[in-house]
Amino acid sequence: MSQQGGEYIAPAGTRLSAPVPEGWADQIAAYERGEFTPVPPKHAATVVLLRDRADRPPEVYLLKRAASMSFAGGFYAFPGGRVDPRDADAEIAWAGPSAAEWAARFGSDEAEARALLCAAVRETFEESGVLFAGPDEHSVVADTTGDAWEADRRALVSRETSLAEFLAARSLVLRTDLLGAWSRWITPEFEPRRYDTAFFVAALPAGQRTRDVSGESETTVWLTPRQAVDDHAAGTTLMLPPTSSTLRDLCGFGTAGQAVRAAAGRPLKPIMATVRQRADGAWHLEWEL
């Protein structure tokens, strides 16, 4: 284990485990008996949004997914969602590392990398009102709370418009340089809905503020990573391994900027949890960082 800012961080190669969430045992048992055929994972992206606080470590933005959601209902998560095929539009105005550079990080082709970055930006705007875009490659919009912005956000949510069309209509440039690729997680094979999700970290742009606008969440909260980890360990909040692991890794950073800069050196090898039944009959998820 390595130490960073007083918090111990598991190095690559560490194997971790956690009890499976309540209600998953029957599904896992069916998978283990060969009664469940794994479905191919769909590409998705999520953004760990951080904001600096003068008197304490940076805070992270979390949404509690509505209990009625078919995937991870009632669990706390970061803004994010599935890739829209139009997210791969090559005509989008772009600032920051090229699609080829991002593809090299993810081990993908340029279209897939472009789609992941665009999905990350689009989903964050859809679910929090925060937009990583600006009039040029050196600036970012300072306020997205007006009625016109809300109409645009709703059009993205309903898929009436694409991210490329939205940005072009406002003459905005996608600021991919504001995002840091943090990790990549694949949903376990026993899940009926599976995603290959790219995790990014980003600092809340100056002047912008989050809004509880997601129709998929019950509530939203800003917490320090340490508080979020402690709440999860105490059993007061539900989190899947990608969320809790990411929060643990962020506990040692003193500012949002430090976390974003640290992302440049992170390995992006896909992580997928497997399951093992212990002697007492309880199922546990296991994964290697």
Q: For position 221, which CATH number holds?
A: 3.90.79.10
- List the structure tokens of 30: 């069916």
Q: In a 3-state reduction of DSSP, which class is residue 173?
A: strand
Q: What percent of the chain has pLDDT over 70?
A: 88
From the number of C-beta atoms within 10 Å of its C-beta (0-12, 13-18, 19+), residue 268 rates as middle
The residue that leads in pLDDT, 205 or 72, is 205
The Cα-based distances of 233 to 123, 185, 215, 237 in angstroms read 28, 21, 27, 8
Query: With bands split at pLDDT 50, 70 and 90, how would you rate the model's confidence at 235?
Result: confident
Could you tell me if residue 23 is inside a domain? no
Could you tell me if residue 244 is inside a domain? yes
Q: What percent of the chain has pLDDT over 90?
A: 61
- Measured from the Cβ of residue 218, the count of other Cβ atoms closer than 10 Å reads 15
Whole-angstrom distance, CA of residue 21 vs CA of residue 23: 6
Q: Cα Rg for the chain, rounded, in angstroms?
A: 19
Angle 279-284-285 from CA coordinates, rounded to 5°: 150
Could you tell me if residue 180 is inside a domain? yes
Could you tell me if residue 10 is inside a domain? no
Q: What is the mean pLDDT of the chain?
A: 87
- List the structure tokens of 68: 């009625």
Residue 92 DSSP one-character state: S
DSSP run (H or E) holding 97: none
Structure pTM? 0.88
Whole-angstrom distance, CA of residue 247 vs CA of residue 78: 10
pLDDT value of residue 109: 94
**Using one digit for the tens of pLDDT, what is the confidence trace for 200-232?**
999 999 999 998 776 666 789 999 999 999 998
Whole-angstrom distance, CA of residue 91 vs CA of residue 38: 35
Could you tell me if residue 8 is inside a domain? no
The Cα-based distances of 209 to 50, 181, 205 in angstroms read 11, 22, 8
Could you tell me if residue 51 is inside a domain? yes
Could you tell me if residue 182 is inside a domain? yes
Q: Give the relative orientation of helices 110-128 and 147-157 as an angle to the nearest 10 degrees.
A: 130
Choose the weakest-confidence range: 184-193, 195-204, 212-221. 212-221
Query: With bands split at pLDDT 50, 70 and 90, how would you rate the model's confidence at 4?
Result: very low
**Using one digit for the tens of pLDDT, what is the confidence trace for 7-61?**
444 555 556 666 777 677 788 888 888 888 889 999 999 999 999 998 889 999 9
**Chain Cα centroid distance, residue 241:** 12
User: Pairing relation of β-strands 76-77 and 133-134?
Assistant: unpaired
Q: In a 3-state reduction of DSSP, which class is residue 142?
A: coil
b/e for 76-90, b at 16 or more Cβ within 10 A?
Answer: bbbbbbebbebbbbe
Choose the weakest-confidence range: 47-61, 130-144, 232-246. 232-246
Q: How many residues does the chain have?
A: 289
Q: Answer whether residue 192 shows pLDDT above 50.
A: yes
Could you tell me if residue 102 is inside a domain? yes
Choose the weakest-confidence range: 74-83, 122-131, 158-167. 74-83
Query: With bands split at pLDDT 50, 70 and 90, how would you rate the model's confidence at 278?
Result: confident
End-to-end CA distance of the chain: 12
The residue that leads in pLDDT, 65 or 124, is 124
Angle 14-20-21 from CA coordinates, rounded to 5°: 130
Residue 281 CB contacts under 8 Å (≥ 6 apart), including other chains = none
pLDDT value of residue 5: 38
Does residue 121 contact residue 162 with C-beta atoms inside 8 Å?
A: no
Does residue 201 contact residue 259 with C-beta atoms inside 8 Å?
A: yes
The domain in which residue 198 lies consists of 41-273
The residue that leads in pLDDT, 56 or 261, is 261
Q: Specify the number of domains making up the chain.
A: 1
Pick from 49, 75, 40, 50: nearest CA to 191 = 40
